[in-house]
Structure 1
Amino acid sequence: MAFDVISLGELLVEFVRKERDGVHTTPGTYLGPYPSGAPAITIDSCARLGLKTGFIGVVGNDDFGQLLIKRLASDGVDVSKIYIDENSMTGMAFVAYRVDGSRRFVFNLKFSASAKLSPDHIEVDYVGKSKVLHISGSTIFISKSSKEACEKAVTIAKQNNVLVTLDPNLRPELASLEESREALSFFISKSDVILVGEDELLKLFDTQYLNEAIQKLFDRGPKIVVVKRGKRGSMMVTRSGDVVEASAFTVKEVDPTGAGDVYNAAFIYGYLKGWGYRDILIFANAAGAVKVMKVGPMEGPESIDEISKIIREFKV
């Protein structure tokens, strides 16, 4: 079976602290469980936009695992390569927001079913016949075997001319900055498109200068670098020297978790459709704006129409 986009990695449910500036060390009210996992959010959003998608991952034999499988399947994702591990629990994350919008996570990912993802789960035909393979850095920080699974998938993709997109998705709760740099090295060198948050990019290369960080990425391999800048929109730079920027859409923020992953999906959609660079960025910015207005990390746009409505309202 051939897909437009496939991804692999963590599948988890998320619980969100109801009040702002709450801390996990004191009792409080949490909302959830919400389906989540960075690569899963991206692939689900791709499916909602109408792309043919598949996902490779592992869940536990529990209600949360069933919730995740049912959600992805209901949105059109092929779930035939999501495996159930009888000896592990499905991944979980607890999130508390600070007033400034920053987040505090508690994960069990390193001890969850997601950590059991391995190269044995990666099939040549499943990866090699797709158009795009999307990798999330958070997956490679979970366990040695999940990193090796991603490495195998990328190797197959490159052998079969599959476009590789990477979101470094740094997670200090899973790996230190030095560990992250080392783990990401192989993936940066093999990626065609890197979709990265501005703050993450500056941290990766220990610099205050965005242009310097972008050039250091190009020195390692990718053809396109997309920088997600939150309320300041996004920009795209190509190895050949094209620079395109698009402003953000000012909307009421309710829950920003997952916005970057939804952005990735919208970018991939526009790229596969052969749109102009600025049109792709506008579409992706609008998709992220739709997401932040909804509670739940996977609750992004339900269709292209929902994104188009935002664009029309702002008369972009």
Structure 2
Amino acid sequence: MQQNNDVDVVTVGESMILFQPMTDGSLRYSPLFTKSIAGAESNVAIGLTRLGKKVRWISRIGCDPFGDLIVSTLAGEGVDVSCVIRDKKAPTAIYFKEFKGYGNPMIYYYRKYSAASKFSEADIQPEWLANARHLHVTGITPALGERTADFIKKVMEQAKARGLTVSFDPNLRRKLWSEEQARRVLLSLMPLCDIFLPGLEEAKFLMGEQPVAEYGKQFLQMGPKLVVMKLGQEGSIGFYQNEAVQSPVFRMDKVVDPVGAGDAFAAGLLSVLLDEDQPLDEDVLNICLPKALKRANLLGALATQFKGDWEGLPSIREVEQYIEGQDMITR
């Protein structure tokens, strides 16, 4: 386990145990499952660590074997898990993916009353943000429990007060809360972030049907310094000041599993921006944002090529070889 040394990114949120059938078909008839871990924030933490960044992941998990697996897996990936809270009364959450051979996989969550759903402002500790540059959060955590929206808002406020930059991926999960509550809470958190990372469907959910450029303009007016939108087959686009930068998609022959692609995208983007001392300076963005979007698009595309939310995420060496078109030496 790492100690609380300087870290590039702190991320806060729930990780769960993921069960996937070993063969495609209905969960009802699947006799055998593989077991792994998954969660938006831990996916980003692993992605960034593999790209050379130091990351501290904070969560509440149960004092159970599933919690043990999450901690050991993340620690084995080089993520700092020293601030994780182990709850003796609430369990680690689990979820299942169902692959039927067509369309996106179905997701079934079993996370109500989980340890992470008990997050509250009383849990926040000064060491969480100590010696850190950046905080990354998602819109999943506010949806988990009665006090989790206030909790994540306070974490964001404390990060801003301590001079950290903050990225916020709305990561809309309609199964976790009502649309009215989701829209209200997600919009209320936007003024507290410096980098906002919506997908096109999330932008429509928050603001209604509008041109992409109008989304960028309106989101910037709410407080973020940089808005990066994921556009699916159209790649991605970044807005800052009066500028817009678009980057094309990396096309893959097929999609195995799209879950986790947005988290991989966030890791790719942040890994480039945080190479800079002042990543949100206009002159810096003029130079580094095209590279950041290109890497983000690449990681998002690669994440669709394997089952599981993070296992196939590339190292920085693999990313550089892929972008440069070099052949991998395999034997």
Fold match by TM threshold 0.5 = yes
| TM-score, normalised via structure 1 length | 0.91
Secondary structure of 2:84's match? strand
Secondary structure of 1:111's match? coil
- Name the CA distance, whole Å, in 2 between partners of 1:276 and 1:66: 39
Secondary structure of 2:239's match? strand
What are the superposed Cα offsets for residues 45-86 of structure 1, whole Å, 9 maximum, x if unpaired?
A: 111211111011011122211111011101111111111111
> Where in structure 2 are there 5+ consecutive unaligned residues?
277-286
Counterpart selection for 1:157 from 156, 159, 162:
159
**How much does 1:314 deviate?**
9.1
**How much does 1:96 deviate?**
2.4
**How much does 1:27 deviate?**
2.9
Does residue 285 (structure 1) correspond to residue 312 (structure 2)? The answer is no
* Contact map agreement 2:55 2:79 (CA 8 A) in 1: yes
Q: Which amino acid aligns with 1:214?
A: G
Q: Indicate the larger mover: 277-286 or 27-36.
A: 27-36
- Name the CA distance, whole Å, in 2 between partners of 1:269 and 1:287: 11
Does residue 212 (structure 1) correspond to residue 224 (structure 2)? The answer is no
Q: Which amino acid aligns with 1:199?
A: E
Equivalent in the alignment of 2:267? 265
Does residue 294 (structure 1) correspond to residue 306 (structure 2)? The answer is yes
Structure 1 pair 29–169 and aligned structure 2 pair: CA distance change class (3 A): farther
How many equivalent pairs are there? 312
Counterpart selection for 2:223 from 212, 221, 224:
221
| TM-score, normalised via structure 2 length | 0.88
Show structure 1 runs of 4+ deviating over 6 A: none
- Give 1:71-86 correspondences, 5 Å limit: 71-86=73-88
- Name the CA distance, whole Å, in 1 between partners of 2:120 and 2:182: 19
* Contact map agreement 1:105 1:173 (CA 8 A) in 2: no
> Where in structure 1 are there 5+ consecutive unaligned residues?
none
- Name the CA distance, whole Å, in 2 between partners of 1:101 and 1:243: 32
Equivalent in the alignment of 2:41? 39
Equivalent in the alignment of 1:6? 10
* Contact map agreement 2:193 2:224 (CA 8 A) in 1: yes
- Name the CA distance, whole Å, in 1 between partners of 2:31 and 2:263: 26
Percent identity over the alignment?
Answer: 30
- Give 1:22-171 correspondences, 5 Å limit: 22-23=25-26, 26-29=28-31, 31-97=33-99, 101-171=103-173
Q: Which amino acid aligns with 2:15?
A: L
Q: Which amino acid aligns with 2:245?
A: V
Q: Which amino acid aligns with 2:12?
A: L
- Name the CA distance, whole Å, in 2 between partners of 1:168 and 1:103: 20
Secondary structure of 1:79's match? coil
* Contact map agreement 1:124 1:156 (CA 8 A) in 2: no
CA RMSD, aligned part only?
A: 2.1
**How much does 1:18 deviate?**
5.2
**How much does 1:126 deviate?**
2.5
- Name the CA distance, whole Å, in 2 between partners of 1:233 and 1:29: 38
Q: Which amino acid aligns with 1:301?
A: L
- Name the CA distance, whole Å, in 2 between partners of 1:17 and 1:209: 40
* Contact map agreement 2:44 2:267 (CA 8 A) in 1: yes
